[in-house]
Amino acid sequence: MADLVMDFKTDAAPRKAAAGRYDGARVLIYSHDTFGLGHLRRSRAIANAIVEDGSNASIVIISGSPVIGNFEFGSGVDYIRIPGVTKLPDGDYRSLNLNVDLEEAVGLRQDLILQAVKSFRPDVFIVDKEPTGFRGEVLPALDYLHGSHCRLVLGIRDVMDEPALLVPEWERKDAKEALIRYYDEIWVYGLKDVYQPLAALDLPPHVERRITYTGYLRREMPATPSLTRYPKITRQPFILVTTGGGGDGDDLIDWVISAYEADKALDMPSLILFGPFIDRDKRRSFMERINRQSKLDALSFDNKIELLMQKAEAIVAMGGYNTFCEALSFDKRTLIVPRTRPRLEQYIRAVEAQRLGLVRMLSDYNEPRTPERMAAALRSLSSQPRPSEVVIPGLLDGLDQVQARLMALIEPNHTHVPAFHQAAE
């Protein structure tokens, strides 16, 4: 496969952009998708923001998500779907659709990523979350681009995991070494005063200087209406209950339904959005219970969830990165019910957000998961402060900062010093 593009040289001169713009620039985004929608939706928000000002940039997203085709992308954005992998209940992985073992599937993904890099010849390569990619699949592409005109960026969410788990995980994957060796910049899509996701790694000072805290990624309303037919429940004030992709949201959905089953005095109805990855049998069981409650209804999936969020009076969610950004962007009273297994990412984010007064948290981490606790939390949503009542400078400046950093990286007068040179400073 690589023989088809051997003419392309990594030391080719970068394309020139108009002063102060990134017209004509090429950006490749690797979206670390093995489970859920979080990485894809974050990558899509960044890509759409880059092209929304009418620049002539071209952006390609590489993703293994099986639902990437369900989303709309701005003019100038396209995607490459590589074979998917999925996480099993025991934490292991397998090929999603192909009848091949995981090692062969990763090898195929790795070859396709490298081929995309060679053919597209990006000016900037943004790698989402994992410095080496899933099972090291991005390393050949990083080796190919290392020292070239292409700028290498690692983009990570505000919280990765608790330090006790993150440090050994990154050691096992050689992720810290890859971060130091390859990446020119590290973009943290959050605020330093909220959380420092890489603090426990004890990075060298010259690598710390590559880190930019962008702020959270603001979300906008879709340009076109949703084709989803909303239930009647949305014609009145309602609570939107969302579990993101839905593959790990069973506990939250069960807890909300049990609250309405136990407390008939709950006034505000709730719309439950299952997500595309919920188990079919579980969804069927939930629907049987929901159909018996006049104040509950459900939808399977909405690729323009922003419209539902805008309509909702309040939000109940697990607290993944994207949902948190949307709750802030649309200024919604939000109850976070974080997942605590297998990672504490959502719990850490919820604790910090509650500390700042942006959301309220309800957790079963150290307390029992009773219907009464959820019913009380749902009832108190209407009197909860909105996020906008807390003033935090730069809170939602993420996309503006990404655009500014991108412009600085590919502006023709910018002198590029590859990461391996910076290490010697």
CATH code of the domain in which 241 resides: 3.40.50.2000
pLDDT of 226 strictly over 90 = no
9: pLDDT confidence band, cut at 50, 70 and 90? very low
Residues 162 and 253 in one domain: no
The total of other beta-carbon atoms located within 10 Å of residue 329's CB is 20
pLDDT on residue 169: 93
What domain range includes position 196? 2-218+396-422
422: pLDDT confidence band, cut at 50, 70 and 90? very low
Count of domains for the chain? 2
From first CA to last CA, the distance across the chain in angstroms is 38
339: pLDDT confidence band, cut at 50, 70 and 90? confident
More confident residue, 341 or 197: 197
pLDDT, mean of residues 390-406: 95
The C-alpha atoms of residue 55 and residue 228 are separated, in whole angstroms, by: 31
pLDDT digit string, tens, across residues 362-380: 998 778 899 999 999 999 9
* Residue 406 within a domain: yes
* Residue 189 within a domain: yes
* Residue 309 within a domain: yes
- The full length of the chain comes to 425
pLDDT of 16 strictly over 70 = no
* Residue 139 within a domain: yes
Residues 121 and 268 in one domain: no
| Range of weakest confidence among 48-52, 58-62, 238-242, 393-397 | 48-52
pLDDT of 243 strictly over 70 = yes
* Residue 180 within a domain: yes
The set of long-range contacts for 370-375, using a CB threshold of 8 Å and a minimum separation of 24, is 371/255, 371/258, 371/259, 371/261, 371/262, 371/263, 372/259, 372/262, 372/263, 374/255, 374/256, 374/258, 374/259, 375/259, 375/260, 375/262, 375/263, 375/266
Strands 93-95 and 85-87, by their bridges, are antiparallel
pLDDT on residue 242: 94
Residues 149 and 260 in one domain: no
Residues 346 and 400 in one domain: no
pLDDT digit string, tens, across residues 206-218: 999 999 999 999 9
Beta bridge partners of 270: 239, 296
- Please choose, from the candidates 325, 274, 324, 328, the residue with its C-alpha nearest in 3D space to the C-alpha of residue 302: 274
CB of 175 within 8 A of CB of 130? yes
pLDDT digit string, tens, across residues 268-290: 999 999 988 788 899 999 999 99
The C-alpha atoms of residue 273 and residue 249 are separated, in whole angstroms, by: 10
Angle at 17 between CA 58 and CA 48, to 5 degrees: 30
302: pLDDT confidence band, cut at 50, 70 and 90? confident
Residues 176 and 302 in one domain: no
| Range of weakest confidence among 219-228, 229-238, 328-337 | 219-228
The total of other beta-carbon atoms located within 10 Å of residue 395's CB is 21
Give the rounded percent of residues in the chain with a pLDDT score beyond 70. 89
Strands 333-336 and 270-273, by their bridges, are unpaired
Residues 267 and 337 in one domain: yes
Q: What's the whole-number average pLDDT of the chain? A: 88
Residues 348 and 207 in one domain: no
Residues 271 and 297 in one domain: yes
* Residue 223 within a domain: no
pLDDT digit string, tens, across residues 146-182: 989 999 999 999 999 999 899 999 999 999 999 999 9
Residues 127 and 240 in one domain: no
CB of 349 within 8 A of CB of 195? yes
DSSP 294-353: TTEEEES--TTHHHHHHH-SEEEE---HHHHHHHHHTT-EEEE----SS--HHHHHHHHH
pLDDT on residue 263: 97
pLDDT on residue 244: 77
Residues 72 and 40 in one domain: yes
pLDDT digit string, tens, across residues 52-102: 866 789 999 999 988 888 888 999 999 999 999 887 766 688 898 899 999
pLDDT of 359 strictly over 70 = yes
pLDDT of 413 strictly over 80 = no
CB of 56 within 8 A of CB of 86? no
* Residue 163 within a domain: yes
User: 368: which 2 tokens?
Assistant: 């029992």
User: 217: which 2 tokens?
Assistant: 């990624």
3-state secondary structure of 188: strand
CB of 191 within 8 A of CB of 398? no
224: pLDDT confidence band, cut at 50, 70 and 90? confident
Report the interhelical angle of 250-262 vs 280-290 (nearest 10°).
10
pLDDT of 2 strictly over 70 = no
Residues 206 and 306 in one domain: no
* Residue 227 within a domain: no
Residues 384 and 403 in one domain: no
More confident residue, 96 or 237: 237
The C-alpha atoms of residue 186 and residue 206 are separated, in whole angstroms, by: 12
